[in-house]
Amino acid sequence: MATISERIKKFRRNLNLTRTLQLIWSIAPGLTIRAAIFIVLESVLWFGTLIMLKLLIDAVAAKNTAGDNYISVMLRYISIAGVISILYSCIKSISSYITEYLGAKISLHVDERIHAHTLELDLTYYERPDYLDILKRAREAGAIHPYAVVVNLFDMIRNFFMLAAVGSVLVTIDWMLMPILALFVLPILFVRVKFSDKLYEWQRRQTPLERKSSYLSNLITGDSSAKEIRAFSLGRFLLNQFTSIRNTLISEQLQLNKRRTLVEIITMVMVTSAFYAITAYIVFGTLKGETSVGDIAVFLVIFPQTFTIMQAFAGSISRMYQSNIFVANIFELFDLGSTLFKPKTPKPVPSGENLDFSIEKMYFNYPHADEPTLVDVSLKIPAGKIVALVGLNGAGKSTMIKLLCRLYDPVEGKITMGGTDIRQFDISEYRKQVSTVFQDFVRYNVPVSDCIRYGDIEGEFREADMKEAAKNSGANEFIEKFPQGYNTMMGRVFDEGHEVSTGQWQKLAIARSFYSPSQLIIFDEATSALDAKSESDLFRTFRERIGNRSALVISHRLSTVKHADYIYVMANKGVVESGTHEELISRADGVYSKLFQTHSARPVAVSE
Ligand SMILES: Nc1ncnc2c1ncn2[C@@H]1O[C@H](COP(=O)(O)OP(=O)(O)O)[C@@H](O)[C@H]1O
Ligand SMILES: [Mg+2]
């Protein structure tokens, strides 16, 4: 059990709005000021109607002493009250419009910042399920909670002004009334805060399960799994799992809500009974004394209203509190930074085409993996050379490519470009020097020309180069058959999209890497889906197709590998052999010779 002082400390910490307000201020300072002004106006006008009401009641009470004049006095009060009321309604509507506008703006920007921040984070994070939990919670919170903090903060301010207004009337009757009312709403506030904390803790606990249910939902409804789910009749099975998780989650949440509702009802009943007991006591007390009808009338109107406003005040505090703890989810994401080394003053990337790439005594562990994936790997890609990399599945080839792209940093050893450790360069400048066709490349559902120009999105679009890249990859053959040629929409996600085969998609990915102005082209099994003719055409004249650039080609096919200037063989987390094709094949008991059974008429695709 937390002690009271601990509770208060936690309450204060969770109510600390500084960071949330800084965030909101940085997004929309002008709009926030405007919204605040309108809220003050609204409160002042509301107070105005209240004053007019009191004056009117006093005028009615003083009717007998006022003489004939009272009708015109009352008419004046009524018309002023009417005008103020109309103004109040108008200002109130404008005020809600501004708040709504502010809300939309905040949600939009926070969402944008969440997306921008995830781009800053390195691939390491995607190995961590807890990061995916943080990301999910931040994205959910981004859409509603910062906005809710603002709305409730304004509500709180408005209620505070109203409370001050009615309070100033109420203290003229008895100064004790306000503290008594405050005492009444505290238990309600306490209950709500307590359940906000519980809801937050519950949500944090449940995120992995929530993510599992989203994962299942995507499998069941998503387009990339649609084929297999049907072919293997997996739908029902997955749906049952999905439903069971949803049921667990919803029933737990309902349980929590049920408890909260019950405790709230009990508290409300007690508090409201006490409130009316006090009202009765005061009314009778006042009746015994010499109080005017006007005073009693004011008391009977104002006292319950103050109670209502006080409840609304407490309500806005508790809602603001709840939203603010959920906003913490966004800051949890914002507090994560890239784990990749960042030099204070990056070295300029050398220009020119004579850049050697070299891997020196490199060790690498995937984060959270028990065993190293690469141990003492050294390899060279001299400028302008074509280097091949072969090895069984799981040997570590793709891992090495990710390190070459600087998606991870080595644990020990280094990678150099032109003799400089690549960690000394600005990361995005360095990445422009390497263009990779990944084993699991992306099928962008965009027009063909975009699909290729994504290889150099920061450079100006060069149409001739784009077509040249398509020609060099062999993609031009199918693109030119499309009625809209290079303007054709790819994929089936959007209207008039054209779906093509995996091999054709692969050719587009190859074209993308050719279009890039990089020094090094990397193919990670990039031609695995190409037909034999396309592949042999590509590699027969590979040198001309890549120009002066260097290339690192991973392939399981001998016909591809043997064109390389130099070959590395990977096994057991490192390089075990290297040499030219002739050198390697001449070692009868070497790994390379065993990988490619040269006596076979056809090249054999090696797999485990
Ligand atoms: N994201 C990852 N997290 C942890 N281990 C990984 C990850 N990706 C690959 N591995 C491990 O690293 C080893 C090498 O994988 P990879 O480099 O993809 O092999 P290859 O491309 O040679 O087939 C594999 O044994 C695999 O289990
Ligand atoms: Mg691989």
For residue 207, the CA-to-ligand 1 centroid distance in Å is 27
For residue 518, the CA-to-ligand 1 centroid distance in Å is 26
Sequence-separated (6 or more) residues with CB below 8 Å from residue 86: none
Amino acid identity of residue 489, one-letter, is M
In angstroms, how far is CA 384 from the centroid of its own chain? 41
Q: Which fold has domain 18-334?
A: ABC transporter transmembrane region fold (1.20.1560)
pLDDT band at residue 67 using 50, 70 and 90 as cut-offs:
low
What is the atom index within ligand 1 of the atom nearest the CA of 396? 17
| Calpha distance 12→433 (Å, rounded) | 51
Residue of the CA atom closest to atom 18 of ligand 1: 398
Nearest ligand to residue 524 Cα = 2
- Same fold for the domain at 18-334 and the one at 352-433+518-608? no
Helix (H), strand (E) at residue 320: helix 293-334
Query: What average pLDDT does the structure give for the chain?
Result: 90
Residue 261 has pLDDT above 70, yes or no: yes
Per the DSSP assignment, residues forming a β-bridge with 421 are 416
| Calpha distance 465→512 (Å, rounded) | 11
Share of the chain above pLDDT 90, in %: 68
For residue 396, the CA-to-ligand 1 centroid distance in Å is 6
Strand ranges, E, within 281-356? none
Q: What pLDDT does 262 receive?
A: 95
Q: What pLDDT does 480 receive?
A: 96
| Whole-prediction pTM | 0.86
For residue 394, the CA-to-ligand 2 centroid distance in Å is 7
Residue of the CA atom closest to atom 3 of ligand 1: 366
For 26-60, the pLDDT digits (tens) are 999 999 999 989 988 998 898 888 788 878 877 77
For residue 579, the CA-to-ligand 1 centroid distance in Å is 25
Domain boundaries, given as residue ranges, for the chain: 18-334, 352-433+518-608, 442-517
Mutate to test the pocket of ligand 1, among 126, 127, 373 (most ligand atoms within 8 A of CB): 373
Q: Phi/psi of residue 343, each to 5°?
A: -70, 150
Ligand 1 binding pocket includes 70 (Cβ within 6 Å):
no
Least confident of 57-71, 394-408, 548-562: 57-71
| Calpha distance 428→120 (Å, rounded) | 11
For 570-607, the pLDDT digits (tens) are 999 999 999 999 999 999 889 999 988 754 444 444 44
Is the sign of the CA dihedral 28, 32, 38, 39 positive or negative? Answer: positive
Sequence-separated (6 or more) residues with CB below 8 Å from residue 61: 292, 293, 294, 297
Q: What pLDDT does 604 receive?
A: 45
What is the atom index within ligand 1 of the atom nearest the CA of 368? 4
Q: Cβ(38)–Cβ(158) under 8 Å?
A: no
Mutate to test the pocket of ligand 1, among 389, 399, 554 (most ligand atoms within 8 A of CB): 399
380 is written with which tokens? 């060279």
* Among the listed residues 591, 542, 544, 584, the one whose alpha carbon sits nearest the alpha carbon of residue 567: 584
For residue 595, the CA-to-ligand 2 centroid distance in Å is 16
Buried/exposed 168-179: b ≥16 CB within 10 Å, e otherwise: ebbeebeeebbe
Residue 472 has pLDDT above 80, yes or no: yes
Q: Phi/psi of residue 375, each to 5°?
A: -130, 120
Q: What pLDDT does 289 receive?
A: 67
Residue of the CA atom closest to atom 5 of ligand 1: 366
Ligand 1 binding pocket includes 401 (Cβ within 6 Å):
no
For residue 438, the CA-to-ligand 2 centroid distance in Å is 9
For 549-573, the pLDDT digits (tens) are 999 999 999 989 988 999 999 999 9
Q: Which fold has domain 442-517?
A: Rossmann fold (3.40.50)
Specify the higher pLDDT residue, 302 or 555: 555
What separation, in Å, do the N-terminal and C-terminal C-alpha atoms of the chain show? Answer: 57
Q: Which fold has domain 352-433+518-608?
A: Rossmann fold (3.40.50)
For residue 385, the CA-to-ligand 1 centroid distance in Å is 26
Ligand 1 binding pocket includes 572 (Cβ within 6 Å):
no
For residue 137, the CA-to-ligand 1 centroid distance in Å is 29
The alpha carbon torsion through 368, 369, 371, 377 (nearest 10 deg) reads -90
Mutate to test the pocket of ligand 1, among 398, 405, 525, 570 (most ligand atoms within 8 A of CB): 398
What is the atom index within ligand 1 of the atom nearest the CA of 393? 23
Nearest ligand to residue 525 Cα = 2
